[in-house]
Structure 1
Amino acid sequence: MAGSPVGQNLFFDTIDPLLRDFLSFLLSQPVVSQEALAETIEIIRLNQLAELDNFFGDICQIEFDSPITQEAEDVLIYTLLLPENSYEIMKFSDGFYQLVELGITGDCLKKAVLDWRKNLTDAFYGNYRPGSKNLYEILIKPIKIELELRNIKHIVFVQDSLLRNIPMSGLFNKDSQQYLIENYLISYSLDLGGSLLTTQPKNALILGSSEPTSTFPNALPGVLQETKLIQELIGGTRLINKSFTPKALENNLAQKDYEILHLASHSRFSGLSEEVKIQTGTEVLNLFEFDNLLNQRKASIKHLSLSACETASGSRYATLGVAGIGLRAGISSVLGSLWLADDKNSVEFFLSFYQSWLENNSVAKALQHAQKEQIEKNINPTNWANYILIS
């Protein structure tokens, strides 16, 4: 299956249901052994790789035998949405697995996810708080005690299905009156290798397109200030509007070893790879054109920020495009947005993010700092929870 693209229809109609039936059988046994949980994780990882292969339509050259690096205070949480029940499997740094039944069917959980995301993305009329509390009760409360006993500081979510399209940082604990990001570093992974950066940001290539186009009719006036302030803060090369051409991007990547690539322009990731669009200052790139540009500097780029990207809410494939671009190019981390937030707020957010990254040498801590700063200013989570960190 993995390493041999079969097409989305065949995958969803035949292969995926069979896998889920097998996992339902495996996890519904009276006693689920550590070996069975390890086998489940291996199936999840293979399934993630197969989905990635099918999304891109070719074999992704990824070192599958190299799972994500895990520190003592990290926990990997694998979610599974199955017909009769939903599960979380916690993997700790000592290699121990813990299975948690969530007591909700996959379809019911998907509906809760879609409803919450719809409310969360509507900054004016969306009543997001009930969904934030509800999903916290479903997904976090059953594991909260174990997280505290293990002194966990960083949660890495390996999400299933539509859970990929929501920000766990925005889940709200009604008892402590805090968002999840206030207590934990949060990142996401396909568990196909890689680790988050723990060095300062440097050697940045900063790209931006602020003008409206036929594909993206809304202007992004904040891009000019955002890119200017980031350049002043961490240095690097800045290409804006007409100077941000595909050829200029190609030439810059060929001539210099950039570690940071910051893209402040419209991009849209859907469930179909051929519908993915990335706006430059002069034209729109498709997924494969952008992927090819990044892969020419596979050993150089360590972090990619997509400050104005959008992902389709109803597709389990949408965020695979964001994650896959990073994995295929050997990029350690990708900071992307699930939906387009307030343009002016984005300037403040990314300035805080890079400033904190300079001070902490940790991209995960930088994201937490920027989001907590927004919370302290009582800014609606519509404008900060959309940013997710993928490794």
Structure 2
Amino acid sequence: METLNNKLDLCERGNYSQVLQPLLAQYSATSVQADKVRLAAAIAASYIQMQQTALAEPYLRFAYEHADTAVDKAAHAIALGNWQQSRGNADAARASYDVAITLAGSDAGIAISSGLNRLKLDGGKLSATARISSLNAYWQRLPAVSKPQARIRFAINLGAQAKAIGPAGHALAYQAFDYARQLAQAGQESRLLLEALDQLAQMYEDAHRQDDALALSDQAMLVAQTMQAHDFLIAVEWRRGRILRQRGQTDMAIAAYQRALDHIEAIRTDIPVEYQDGKSSFRETLEPVYLGLADMLLQGADQLNAANKEQQLRRARNVLELIKQTELQDYLGDRCAVESARANRRSSTLAPGTAIIYPVILPSRMELLLETAGGMQHRSIAVSADSLRAEVIEFGSNIRDNLSFKPQAKRLYDMLLAPLDSLLQQKKIETLVIIPDGALRLLPFAALHDGQRFAIEKYAIAIVPALTLTNTAAREQQGTNLKTLLAGMSEPGAVVDKLPAVMVEQLLAAGPQSATATVATSATTGRQLSRGSFTRSMRSLPAGKSGADSNAAMSVTDKPAAEKLLRHQQLQQMLSLNGVDEEIRMLEKLAPGQTLLNAGFTVSAFAGKIKTGDYQIVHIASHGVFGGTADNSFLMAHDDLITMNGLQQLLRAGEKNSRGLELLTLSACETAEGDDRAPLGLSGAALKAHAKSALGSLWPVSDDAASALMAQFYRNLSSPANSKVQALQKAQLELLKNDNYSHPFYWAPFIMVGSWL
């Protein structure tokens, strides 16, 4: 039992990933029912904290159903209710809390726990006065709770709810947190004491009582020295850094921010990818720490001598790299893929003629960090984050809708590239590697304009999610030695019956006649640009937000067979991609390898080819969507959907027989418009596939232009003299020189992600 208790204690202290596998092993091995119940509860808590919430349910239900006593059963009912509440099932959560109250009888702890959780669930429907009245009633009952540890937890919960009400609840919040602090101190409950001190310190900071906030932070630091409490120390050091920065003590503030960042790195694998309310843990709690440190480092760089300035800029660059890594972890919901890419990265010295640009978007300014073979420099641009985002969104929209875009192209060029022009010319830069930030991920950099030329006429432009995740070693194979697997779908098959329900509803919303009319005017049945004059066929899914819910499959089981057949045929017609046949035929002549087309492009056939490890390029010409997360991103094979995780499994299956995937091309995928996380999907796909580079597009592309560009790209790639990004640049310039495709709508959305070599 000592071993079991030690494991449960690790769970109590928040070390979930460390203890999960031993807990699972012991759960399978034990035959003692009481131990199994305790283990099940701990396993469920671990899964919930690690945001694998679906895996928690069977263990929660087992603990609830097999608890020995009514009070234990009630406690597990509360845990189940909390899980249901986190999953958005409010009615089930209420029912679980009510069961807990019924089972517990007069037990004060269960009554308060159930009541506080139910109040959190329904508090938004009550007035502030009613919520405070309810909280005061629970406050009065706290002394009746027999276990001091439970009393402390309830006091912290109660204080947090009172604080959330606003000023009317602050007096009760102070009282509850201070009570929790005193009780935790007396009982030597270190972690709970840290939590109470943190809550009190935050209230003092919010009330601009900085000395009190710092004093409580000092107390928390003393407590934390005796234990592993990285999670609390993140908040403590970050708060200290904020206050010191406000007081103008920049060096001390930087040191505090750095310590906060070090604590983050120490427990990176244990921090939940998303909170239970759906907010990103990165966006809410981690990004401000990273960005605050980078901000101060960049802001103070100009006050240093040349050697120290270079060192500080590199330090800022390293912090930015951590931001980029965490963003991808957050998007993918998968730390393993990112950590694997970081571990397997091979790099080469930055070549002359190549420059790396890190734009850093801050609330009231943008920093441009430039790295070349000769060192690092930076420029600061006065622009608000909101106005920059609006400019980027409107610029892309105007290009897609064939509206005036040149003024915005010039303004954005002046912000992003003009401040660096003289340096780029001095260094004879030909290749720009851009690590975009926020809304800049949606920006077609190739279409920026200096007043005389587009950026693509001056530079080959690559997009990189993070240098530390990019294999920048030179290509081992060149030209025709790169064997290619071509997979294309011009005529969808059974996959149309596997589409997300939301997408199907959007596709069919216009009705069969409207859909038929669309097909008659567009070979790909893509949407025509609403305000513009482009009439060429589009490689787009007719529904603009088609990636809204890729987890919900279409349910047609209750529909008559004739109706299901009609829907199937309509969807097949709407999602046909006639230009894919021509594209595949052209590429067969340029890229030696194998072809899977239409009925031949099944998931199993694709997997079979990949497993051989024979291919260095995988080219997929089929519909696909990159949404706001990896969960609502997918590709379409002829018979089924290929999710991001599915793509990872398929492409990695052949790794042991392969020298690695040089390039993953997705020639008909689209990115959710206006969502600055969505372009991370292309980076994520490359990462999960262990591909050095990926080629895709920022918006639905013209069928004819895509086919022409892809053919030219592979011709260019066959020459050892061309890097991948140079091959793309030259293909884009060919379209620019063609009167039919000279508008940036046709060539600007194509981006090379990852290795540019």
Q: TM-score range by the shorter chain?
A: over 0.9
User: Which of 385, 400, 415 does residue 138 from structure 1 map onto?
Assistant: 415
- Displaced runs of 4+ in structure 1, greater than 6 A? none
1:75-130 per-residue CA deviation (whole Å, 9 max, x = no partner) reads 11111000121011001113x110111221222211111111111222xx432222
2:749 to 383, 386, 390: 386
Tell me if 1:166 matches 2:443.
yes
Q: Is the 8 A contact 1:64 1:193 kept in 2?
A: no
More moved, 264-273 vs 313-322: 313-322
Residues 185-334 of structure 1 mapped to structure 2, 5 A cutoff: 185-189=460-464, 190-191=466-467, 192-195=469-472, 197=475, 199-201=478-480, 202-211=482-491, 213=496, 216=541, 217-298=574-655, 299-334=659-694
8 Å Cα contact 2:647/2:688 also seen in 1: no
- Determine the structure 1 residue equivalent to 2:372: 92
Residue aligning to 1:73: 353
Give the corresponding residue for 1:368.
729
Residue 714 of structure 2 corresponds to 354
| Cα distance change, pair 272–293 in 1 and its aligned pair in 2 (3 A) | same
> Is the Cα–Cα contact under 8 Å of residues 209 and 244 in structure 1 kept in the other structure?
yes
Q: 1:52-63 to 2 correspondence within 5 Å?
A: 52-59=328-335, 60=338, 61-63=340-342
Match of 2:595, as an amino acid? R
Moved more, 227-236 or 244-253: 227-236
Using structure 2 for the length normalisation, give the TM-score.
Answer: 0.49
More deviation, 104-113/142-151: 104-113
The alignment yields a C-alpha RMSD, in angstroms, of: 1.9
Q: What does 1:333-344 correspond to in 2, within 5 Å?
A: 333-344=693-704
SS in 2 for 1:211: coil
Q: How many residues align?
A: 386
In the aligned structure 2, how far is the partner of 1:270 from the partner of 1:207?
22
In the alignment, what sits opposite 1:25?
296
Q: 1:63 Cα shift? A: 2.6
CA distance in 2, matches of 1:361, 1:109: 34
Question: Does the C-alpha gap of structure 1 residues 165 and 323 become closer, same or farther in structure 2, counting only changes over 3 Å?
Answer: same
Which position in structure 2 is the counterpart of 1:41? 317
CA distance in 1, matches of 2:272, 2:673: 24
Contact residue 199 and residue 362 of structure 1 kept, 8 A: no
Separation (CA, whole Å) in 1 of partners of 2:589 and 2:728 = 20
Structure 2 CA distance for aligned equivalents of residues 23 and 255 of structure 1:
45
Counterpart of 2:706 in 1: which secondary structure? helix
Q: Contact 2:364 / 2:385 at 8 angstroms: preserved in 1?
A: yes
Distance across 2 between alignment mates of 1:131 and 1:143 = 18
> Mean alpha-carbon deviation: is it higher for 246-255 or for 99-108?
99-108
Structure 2: distance between partners of 1:87 and 1:273: 29
Aligned-pair CA distance for 1:240: 0.8
Alpha-carbon distance, 1:41 to partner = 0.7
Aligned-partner residue type, residue 679 of structure 2 = T
- The answer to which of 336-345 and 221-230 deviates more is 336-345
2:303 partner amino acid = V
Q: Give deviations 1:191-245, integer Å, cap 9, x for gaps.
A: 1231264722521100001125465443211000101110112221111111101
1 or 2, which has the higher strand percentage? 1
Q: State the SS of the aligned residue for 1:318.
A: coil
Q: Which runs of 5+ in 1 are unaligned?
A: none
More moved, 194-203 vs 335-344: 194-203
Counterparts in 2 of 1:290 and 1:65: CA distance versus 1, 3 Å: closer
Which secondary structure state, in structure 1, belongs to the residue aligned with residue 752 of structure 2?
strand
Q: Does 1:114 find its partner at 2:393?
A: yes
Find the counterpart in structure 1 of residue 459 from structure 2: 184
Normalised to the residue count of structure 1, the TM-score between the two structures is 0.93
Q: Distance in 2 between matches of 1:366 and 1:258?
A: 19
Give the C-alpha shift of residue 148 in structure 1: 0.3
Question: C-alpha distance in 1, partners of 2:666/2:578?
Answer: 16
- Per-residue CA shift, 1:340-381, capped at 9, x if unaligned? 111122111111111111134421221011111111113211
CA-CA distance at 1:11 after TM superposition? 1.4
Q: 1:67 to 1:109 in 2, by over 3 A?
A: farther
Is the partner of 2:461 in helix, strand or coil? strand
Quote the Cα distance in structure 2 between the aligned partners of 1:256 and 1:290. 15
The alpha carbon displacement at 1:68 in A equals: 5.0
Change (3 A) 1:81 1:200: same
Greater helix fraction, Structure 1 or Structure 2: 2
**What residue ranges of structure 2 are gaps of 5+ in the alignment?**
1-263, 275-279, 504-540, 542-573
1:377 is matched with: 738
Aligned equivalent of 1:7: 273
Which is worse superposed, 160-169 or 56-65? Answer: 56-65
After superposition, what is the alpha-carbon deviation per residue over 1:289-329, rounded to whole angstroms, capped at 9, x for unaligned? Answer: 11211122344321111101111232232122211221333
**Fraction of identical pairs, as percent:** 27
The one-letter code of the counterpart of 2:619 is H
